[in-house]
Structure 1
Amino acid sequence: MARVEQDGTAVNAPVVPGRLPLLGHALPLWREPIAFLESLRDHGEVVRLDIGTWPVHVLTSPDHVHAVLVQQAQKFGRGRVFDRLRPMFGNGLVTTDGDFHRKQRRMIQPAFHRNHIAEYAAVMGRQADEMTASWTAGRAVSMITETRRYALASVAEMIFSGDLSRPAVAEVHRSLPVVLEGMLVRAVMPKALDRLPIPLNRRFDTAAARLRQIIDQVIAQYVAAGEDRSDLLSMLLSSVDAETGTTMSPEQVRDEVIAIMFAGTETSATTLAWVFHELGRHPEVEARMHAEVDAVVGAGPVRPEQLSALTYTNSVFQEALRLHSPLLFTRRALVPLTLGGVAIPAGAEVAYSPYALHRDPALFRDPTVFDPDRWLEGAKDRPRDHRYVPFGAGQHKCIGDTFAVAEILTALATVASSWRLVPAPGVTVRQVPAGIPQPSELPMIPVPRR
């Protein structure tokens, strides 16, 4: 166990072994971030690690995470990781807090009402059909590329309409992978290093600036046209807060669009790629999912009202998301408090890893085993809600979680109605650290089912 330091009568968090002068725990976090974050549970439920000279209190217990996100949420604000993402996301829901966050959430929430989700699911179905129609039997495709293209096309059609969106969509295809490459590193490295003229910084800053500029241009064209295009961008531009009577500035709309585009594209695309990977490794699970899709959807196309009947398919998705969850989130203590008998001073950074929580053997039976049955109704070891937090919880829970579920189930059912995806031989798929760990590569071979 890590050592416990005493400061008068207060108990400080145990410090994770291996801290070096000036560097802290930066080396193991840089070299093997996934393994290092998983190892922290061995040292306590609230432990301290140092990234350089920046101390972070990491929570390894779901009860403490629940306390921070829900029970004592008013005592915490956004943490450093979110602050460091502000150059990309501006003042969108992803980075803001307090009254401003609540106002923005009120204004955006109607866009994710179930009636709109059904409309979006129809768009997703068309995009999934286009994806699968482009495949050739026996010719390998990169599922990383395919799922990203599908998710981006679905989100872009939801946000924009008509020719005005084409430059923005093209720029997202160009810039988003670059931003993702640097986002995790940028989030944890000292801010003083941001201005170093190293390739990672140059690529990140240039891509973020290009993306913001092109979306600003599209918004200006929408404002100048002054017409409702029946898309999400028009909805955001015309939204009025019921409590204050205010609208969003074009700059605020841009920040929200970037946040929605990122979350609806990269998070969903990465998770969907992992689902196909797991199905390729577990043909018995794939066969059961195909049987359900055949019974509910038939030969397709997938209709929005069919998604709720795909219960086993949803279990497959949830299990893949459990195994391949976001790596790290942070909060900042606004007042002094105690968690698990450990003193947390005001201003302290508090972090938790959904990835590590979801693979904790104390919380999940056979945590590294891909087992969709654990999610079925009535399963004796069905995960409890507060132990499974891929979308967060409380006031900052992902506003688009139902959108993401519809996006992924639509793609899974569309593919399953026509194809099997077989892993390409001779390829070892590794996890690459990122906001959500990415597959190193994922070539798969489409095989017709009919």
Structure 2
Amino acid sequence: MPVPVAPHRWPLLGHTPAMLARRAKFTDALHEHGDVVRLDLGPLRAHFVTSPALTHEVLVSQGSKFRKGAMFDKFQPYLGSGLLLSNGEHHLRQRRMMQPAFHRERIEAYASTMARAATSLAARWEPGEIRVIENDMQELAVTVVGETLFSSAIGRHAVEEVRRSVFTIIQQGMIRALTPTFVEKLPLPGNREFDAAIARMKSVVLQVIESWRTDATDHGDVLSMILLAEEDGARMTNDQAYDEVLTLLTAGIETTAIALAWALYEVSINPDVERRLHTELDEVLGTRQPTYADLTSLPYTTSVVHETLRKYPIWFVMRRTLTEVQLGDATLPEGAEVIISPHALHHDERYYPNPGLFDPDRWTPAFTSSLPRGAYVPFGGGTRQCLGNTFARTELIITLATIATRWRLIPTRQAKVKFTSAPYPTGLLMKAVPR
């Protein structure tokens, strides 16, 4: 059966907020044309998968027949062979070696760093002060990822370099991924800033790695686990460790910051959500700092996080077939580009009634069990599911709980959205009011 063709061609160039928002609306509606829809991205022909069942096949049940797609090729020169971009046996080997850094006992230790960082941020706010919330959440995400990655003295210097460079790398990297290759070779200011940021980051991270090699002590941080990990008696080289560290920095900061900013905004504009969140936090925490042990006692806070991840996920991810693949009625040849959109799946009315409504109450056990596999994929799935998914959820819950026990946030204007890799809040100005 021929694959249906999208009713309109999607232009490749042009990245204004309005244009990107229209593209998201366009892709959200593609399920009306079939479970697999052909989509032209400028000169690139892709196959857009719209159903949860086929999404699960791409990510999980037939996941071995796919590798990362065209968009990720553009990240390879500077992210190297970290988990985000590697494939095949190398990817599985690196994942096995990285996994212990995210075991429960490690996450429990990282949770104290998360709570301490969130408490420190909240303590700096002044009553009535107008905060740019997306900036605050970016700063917090950098602190948490940096301090859990690097706990040594030289590591703290690395955290400062992360603050300086990582958002240039993320933002300019996304621009490179979405524009023709020749653009990145032009002597543009953004290109120069990106190249300089990459050079600085590599220098300081390799210094931290070399310092760790000298004493070979487990400092209780992620880097220690990366460098102590062995597979068949072999450890990661410095370059392999660097690739994984940069992957964690770029993948673990912006997405978390976005989710935190939107969670705080949605709580602030939904009085019933705010009231119920505060009631739960007052009963469980009072005024104390949350701990990892509190997570199971905060079901409503957790539902707020689930709903935030549903409403504000990444826009799309790409895969490429390694062989001929059958997806439903569609036969895709080897080398075909495939697009999955968590944003489109999470806004599908067939599975999420009134998807534009922020509704934590939808996350009942009955609702969760009724969702088809592939309908909720904030962290992907299968062997490529985000390794830090539990880390991220823990950070989201603890940060939301820490701030909401101390402050109410009142928006001073409606949030603006800029689509990059995800719906990004811009100019999210909110007044801090003590509770």
Deviates more, 1:179-188 or 1:392-401: 179-188
**Secondary structure in structure 1 of the residue aligned to 2:100:** helix
Query: 1:267 — aligned with what?
Result: 255
Structure 1 counterpart of 2:308, one-letter code: A
Query: 2:269 — aligned with what?
Result: 281
Question: With CA pairs under 8 Å and 6+ residues apart, which has the higher RCO, 1 or 2?
Answer: 2
- Confirm or deny that 1:340 pairs with 2:320: no
- Change in CA separation of 1:381 and 1:67 when aligned onto 2, cut-off 3 Å: closer
**Secondary structure in structure 2 of the residue aligned to 1:445:** strand
- Change in CA separation of 1:108 and 1:15 when aligned onto 2, cut-off 3 Å: same
Q: What is the CA-CA distance between 1:148 and the residue it aligns to?
A: 1.4
- Change in CA separation of 1:318 and 1:169 when aligned onto 2, cut-off 3 Å: same
Query: 1:326 — aligned with what?
Result: 314
Query: 1:199 — aligned with what?
Result: 189
- Change in CA separation of 1:382 and 1:204 when aligned onto 2, cut-off 3 Å: farther
1:62 pairs, out of 52, 72, 78, with 52
- Confirm or deny that 1:368 pairs with 2:356: yes
- Confirm or deny that 1:441 pairs with 2:427: yes
Structure 1 counterpart of 2:339, one-letter code: A
1:112 pairs, out of 102, 115, 138, with 102
Task: Assess if the C-alpha contact under 8 Å between 1:375 and 1:382 holds in 2.
Answer: no
Task: Assess if the C-alpha contact under 8 Å between 1:93 and 1:259 holds in 2.
Answer: yes
Query: 1:43 — aligned with what?
Result: 33
Deviates more, 1:372-381 or 1:355-364: 372-381
Distance in structure 1 (CA, Å) of the matches to 2:424 and 2:341: 16
Q: What is the CA-CA distance between 1:356 and the residue it aligns to?
A: 1.2
Q: What is the CA-CA distance between 1:203 and the residue it aligns to?
A: 3.0
2:219 pairs, out of 226, 229, 248, with 229
Distance in structure 1 (CA, Å) of the matches to 2:241 and 2:254: 20
Distance in structure 2 (CA, Å) of the matches to 1:16 and 1:223: 53
- Confirm or deny that 1:398 pairs with 2:390: no
Query: 1:17 — aligned with what?
Result: 7
1:215 pairs, out of 205, 211, 216, with 205
Distance in structure 2 (CA, Å) of the matches to 1:443 and 1:27: 30
Task: Assess if the C-alpha contact under 8 Å between 1:327 and 1:436 holds in 2.
Answer: yes
Distance in structure 2 (CA, Å) of the matches to 1:231 and 1:381: 35
Distance in structure 2 (CA, Å) of the matches to 1:380 and 1:318: 11
Distance in structure 1 (CA, Å) of the matches to 2:300 and 2:236: 41
- Confirm or deny that 1:429 pairs with 2:415: yes
Query: 2:115 — aligned with what?
Result: 125
- Change in CA separation of 1:330 and 1:379 when aligned onto 2, cut-off 3 Å: closer
Distance in structure 1 (CA, Å) of the matches to 2:221 and 2:74: 30
Q: What is the CA-CA distance between 1:385 and the residue it aligns to?
A: 4.5
Q: What is the CA-CA distance between 1:225 and the residue it aligns to?
A: 4.1
Normalised TM-score (structure 1): 0.91
Q: What is the CA-CA distance between 1:28 and the residue it aligns to?
A: 7.5
**Secondary structure in structure 1 of the residue aligned to 2:433:** strand
Distance in structure 2 (CA, Å) of the matches to 1:436 and 1:321: 11
Query: 2:177 — aligned with what?
Result: 187
Cα offsets for 1:286-325 (capped at 9, x unmatched): 1101111111111111121001211110101111111100
What aligned pairs does 1:171-182 form with structure 2 within 5 A after superposition? 171-182=161-172
**Secondary structure in structure 1 of the residue aligned to 2:117:** helix
Q: What is the CA-CA distance between 1:177 and the residue it aligns to?
A: 1.8
2:73 pairs, out of 83, 94, 108, with 83
- Change in CA separation of 1:203 and 1:34 when aligned onto 2, cut-off 3 Å: farther
Query: 1:148 — aligned with what?
Result: 138
Structure 1 counterpart of 2:39, one-letter code: L
- Change in CA separation of 1:199 and 1:42 when aligned onto 2, cut-off 3 Å: farther
Percent identity, aligned pairs only, is 40
Task: Assess if the C-alpha contact under 8 Å between 1:354 and 1:389 holds in 2.
Answer: yes
- Change in CA separation of 1:53 and 1:255 when aligned onto 2, cut-off 3 Å: same
Distance in structure 1 (CA, Å) of the matches to 2:425 and 2:98: 32
Distance in structure 2 (CA, Å) of the matches to 1:381 and 1:104: 32
- Confirm or deny that 1:296 pairs with 2:279: no
Distance in structure 2 (CA, Å) of the matches to 1:380 and 1:184: 33
Query: 2:366 — aligned with what?
Result: 378
Q: What is the CA-CA distance between 1:46 and the residue it aligns to?
A: 1.0
Task: Assess if the C-alpha contact under 8 Å between 1:337 and 1:345 holds in 2.
Answer: yes
Q: What is the CA-CA distance between 1:52 and the residue it aligns to?
A: 2.5
Query: 2:297 — aligned with what?
Result: 309
Query: 1:412 — aligned with what?
Result: 400
Structure 1 counterpart of 2:88, one-letter code: G
Task: Assess if the C-alpha contact under 8 Å between 1:111 and 1:232 holds in 2.
Answer: yes
Task: Assess if the C-alpha contact under 8 Å between 2:316 and 2:421 holds in 1.
Answer: yes
When the two chains are superposed, the root-mean-square deviation of aligned CA atoms in Å is 1.9
Q: What is the CA-CA distance between 1:95 and the residue it aligns to?
A: 0.5
Cα offsets for 1:116-141 (capped at 9, x unmatched): 11000011111111011101011111
Task: Assess if the C-alpha contact under 8 Å between 1:56 and 1:351 holds in 2.
Answer: yes
Structure 2 counterpart of 1:231, one-letter code: D
Task: Assess if the C-alpha contact under 8 Å between 1:183 and 1:435 holds in 2.
Answer: no
**Secondary structure in structure 2 of the residue aligned to 1:322:** helix
Instruction: Structure 2: state its 5+ residue gaps.
Output: none
Structure 2 counterpart of 1:435, one-letter code: S
Deviates more, 1:329-338 or 1:37-46: 37-46
Distance in structure 2 (CA, Å) of the matches to 1:434 and 1:13: 28
Cα offsets for 1:171-223 (capped at 9, x unmatched): 22122222222233322333343313333333333322322222122212222
**Secondary structure in structure 2 of the residue aligned to 1:366:** coil
Structure 1 counterpart of 2:292, one-letter code: P
Q: What is the CA-CA distance between 1:232 and the residue it aligns to?
A: 1.8
Task: Assess if the C-alpha contact under 8 Å between 1:180 and 1:434 holds in 2.
Answer: no
**Secondary structure in structure 1 of the residue aligned to 2:29:** helix
Q: What is the CA-CA distance between 1:76 and the residue it aligns to?
A: 0.9
Structure 1 counterpart of 2:391, one-letter code: F
